[in-house]
Every structure is written in C-alpha cells, then in structure tokens.
Amino acid sequence: MSHSIQWRSLWRLPLLALVLPALVLVVGLALAQGAQAQSDPQGEAATAVPALDADTWRQVRSGEVDANYRDSRFDSTYNLVNASGETWRQWRNRWVSPYGLIVIGGMLAMIVLFYLIAGRKKLDEPRTGRKLLRWSAVSRSLHWSVATLFILLALSGLTLLYGKHVFYPLFGAGAWGAMVSASKLVHNYLGPFFGILLLILLAKLLVHNLPKKHDIDWFRKGGGLVGKEHPDAGFANAGEKAWYWLLATAGVVVIISGLVLDFPNYGQARDTMQWANLVHGIGALGLTAVALGHIYIGTLGTEGSLEGMTTGYVDETWAKEHHNLWYEEVKESAVPEEQLATGSKEATGGSSPQSST
C-alpha cells in the first residue's frame, strides 16, 4: 500500500511540473497585457471608454454621472472624469508652482543680499570661556531629527513639483522616473514620522514660546538691527517665537493635509484630495522659505548659535547679548570651558534651570 501511494505521488510530480509553468505563463501574459495597456494610454482609453467628444465634456461639466466614468466603489456616484480636476491643475500650475518659486527664490536672494551687506553677526564682546547649558541631549536629538526629516521632505517635495523641468531634460526619462519614484516613497513614508516628532517638539518647547511684553520691543528694534542696543529676550527671542508659532499653525495644517493625501482610504472624496494637495503645497512651500532664513540665522548668520545646538552649551557672552533675560536666570550655573573638556561632574551636572529643556 505504501508503495502504491509513493508511486502515485511520484506520478503527480511531472503533472505539477507542467501545470505550474502553464499557470505562470497565463498570469504573465495577463500582466503583460496590462502593462502594455498602461504604456499606451490612448489605446487603453479607446478600448475602455467611448470617444471623449464635446458632448461628453458638456455632460461631465453639467454634473451628470455617466456609467462609463463612475467610481467602482460600492454605492458610489462619483464621476471619475470631472471639471474640478482641471480646476485643480490650473491652480497648481498657474498659482502654486509660481508662488513656490517666488517665496523660496525671494528668500534665497534676501539671504545672499543681507550677507553681502551686513555680513555675519559677530559677538560684540570677547568670549568669557564660561559655558551655560542651553539644550539637553534629548532636545538636541529631537531637534536634529525633525530638521533632518524636514530637509528630506522639502527636497523630495520640490523634486515632485519642479523636478521634471530640471532633471528630466538633464538625465532623461529613465533616471527621472527612478528619481520621482524614490521622492514619492520618501515623502509618503517619512511624512507621518515628521508630523509625530514635530508635535512632540512643539509640546516640549511651548513653555519657552509664550508671548511676552518685551517681544513687541524686540520686533520694533528688528532683533537688534535697529539701534545700538540688543533688545530684551528670554530663553527664546521674539523671532524664534514667531518661527515656533508658524510651525504650530501652518506646520500642523501641512501635517493634516499630508495625512489626508497619504491615507486616501478613509472615504475622502477626490475634491477633498485636490484641496488638500493645494493647501499642503502652499503651506509646505511657505515653511520651506522661512526655514531657509531660520537655517541661515542659526548657522552662518550668527556667531555662536550653532554651538548651542551641537554641543548643548553656549558662551556667556552669547547668552548676554542674545538672551539677556534668560542669562540673568542661569548665570550662576556657568562652568569653565576646561571643565567641559575634562567631563567633570561639576561641568556636566547641569544646575541650569533650562538643563532639562
């Protein structure tokens, strides 16, 4: 009996060897036909729907839902061919795209012009060599994570919006196709992580960014550009608070609109997706432009600023000139630079009230 079962099993092997390749061949032919149809949009349209003539477009614009263009989802009456899609395209190409070039290009031009005229903002007094803890390791890690994700999302978003005008002519269709595909994956998958980390960062820094009366004077003096005196500032000056609240408002809108685009399977209509795309583009382009100014001020534009976010410590002179009210609160916790180099407990203990920031 066992020999009979064994021989039957052996007999079935050649049969399976014939059937499986046949199935694979059938599936492959089906996929090939689908791919060929996608590579020939005109041919696909000719076989899928009737001719798109003037009467068809009049029907679409009137709001009638033809069975040939109806959404296949259950109980849906949504027309896949609709006038709102053309309206969205016009808004995107005639308004959003030029707006992005104006705000980002204008900000870059202003930064270059300001640097050529005013140069780098250096400290008025020599450094004391005594350091104050300004940013904890947790805060710095959170900041750099959000900053890195922001840059990746900005670059991938700009590639999706403008890349075809730059990279396609330079590298051709193959390279451009791979680039736009990678940009889409980066943008879609990193966007939610950026949103989560940004909300955590905003919550962590809220206490330092509440408006104060002296913030008005800071704006009136242009952050120290008008007059000879540095305006009063606490842990965050008025300019930093403005950037914070821009992220807390426009940034949150960009996050929400991005999630609407990222997860289209929650019942939102195509019109909703189109509006979310416009809102997302306008907000993201505006934030990118302002972020360029923030990056410039925090790196090349101001002496000593970058040190605080890389090492966690700032020099006493920098604290007195840029955040004098905060300096008065924490000046007793200043430690010599030599102690930081040796890593002594006195230096790293962090008695500063802001050491947990």
CB-count exposure of residue 123 (10 Å: 0-12, 13-18, 19+):
middle
Residue with tokens 């390749």: 21
**C-alpha dist (Å) from residue 148 to 74, 155, 311, 328, 350:** 42, 11, 17, 33, 27
DSSP state, residue 250: I
Query: Which of 83-87, 208-212, 262-266 is most confident?
Result: 208-212
| Mean pLDDT of the 298-304 span | 92
Residues 6+ positions from 332 with CB-CB distance below 8 Å: 351
Predicted local confidence at residue 261, as pLDDT: 94
- Domains of the chain, with CATH numbers? 2-69 (no CATH), 83-348 (1.20.950.20)
Torsions phi, psi for 311 (to 5 deg): -105, -20
Q: How far apart are CA 161 and CA 129, in angstroms?
A: 47
Q: Which amino acid is at 255?
A: I
pLDDT tens-digit readout, 119-160: 899 999 999 999 999 999 999 999 999 999 999 999 999 999
Predicted local confidence at residue 227, as pLDDT: 67
Q: Is the pLDDT of residue 30 over 80?
A: no
Q: How far apart are CA 335 and CA 308, in angstroms?
A: 15
Mean pLDDT over the full length of the chain: 81
Q: Which amino acid is at 30?
A: A
Residues 6+ positions from 202 with CB-CB distance below 8 Å: 244, 247, 248, 251
Predicted local confidence at residue 48, as pLDDT: 52
- The whole model's pTM is what? 0.77
DSSP state, residue 208: G
Q: Single out the residue of 227, 142, 149, 141 nearest to residue 188, CA to CA.
A: 149
Instruction: Quickly state the pLDDT bin for 222 (edges 50, 70, 90).
Output: confident
DSSP state, residue 313: E
Predicted local confidence at residue 79, as pLDDT: 60
| Mean pLDDT of the 150-176 span | 93
Q: Between these two residues, 1 and 186, which has the higher pLDDT value?
A: 186
Q: How far apart are CA 233 and CA 249, in angstroms?
A: 23
Predicted local confidence at residue 56, as pLDDT: 67
Q: Where are the beta strands (DSSP E) in the chain?
A: 130-133, 313-315, 335-336
Coil, strand, or helix at residue 131?
strand
DSSP state, residue 300: I
Q: Is the pLDDT of residue 223 over 80?
A: yes
Q: How far apart are CA 43 and CA 36, in angstroms?
A: 9
| Mean pLDDT of the 44-59 span | 61
Q: Is the pLDDT of residue 67 over 60?
A: no
Q: How far apart are CA 156 and CA 186, in angstroms?
A: 7
Q: Is the pLDDT of residue 306 over 50?
A: yes
Residues 6+ positions from 247 with CB-CB distance below 8 Å: 198, 202, 287
Predicted local confidence at residue 267, as pLDDT: 79
Q: Is the pLDDT of residue 29 over 50?
A: no
Q: How far apart are CA 186 and CA 94, in angstroms?
A: 26
Q: How far apart are CA 329 and CA 309, in angstroms?
A: 20
